[in-house]
Amino acid sequence: MTPATIRFEVPPGHPALAGHFPGRPILPGVVLLDAVLQAAGLGQAHLVRAKFTAPVLPGDAVEIALTPRAGGRTGFVCTCGGKTVLSGELACEPAP
């Protein structure tokens, strides 16, 4: 895998926003992690580490930067408006 940046937007009507949290919706971390996995095109993977540093709100555009690392690992940094919202590393194998 070569370094890559993928962009996606959180639609204001995303179903995960309705209950997370009433009155101040934010994108659940699991949805953001799923976007990282999809962007990386990974089959089986496990999360080595993740650090959530800021919320992702309805209508936000998120950029996912992926960086290959030694040992089949992939580093990732998610930014929103130039601010890091999530960073971490996956240990993985490419999808078949």
Give the up-direction half-sphere exposure of residue 13: CA atoms within 13 A in the CB hemisphere.
Answer: 0
Dihedral pair phi/psi, residue 64, rounded to 5°: -110, 115
Tell me if residue 20 is catalytic: yes
Tell me the C-alpha distance between 84 and 64, whole Å.
Answer: 10
Catalytic residue among 20, 57, 67, 87: 20
Q: Which residues are catalytic?
A: 20
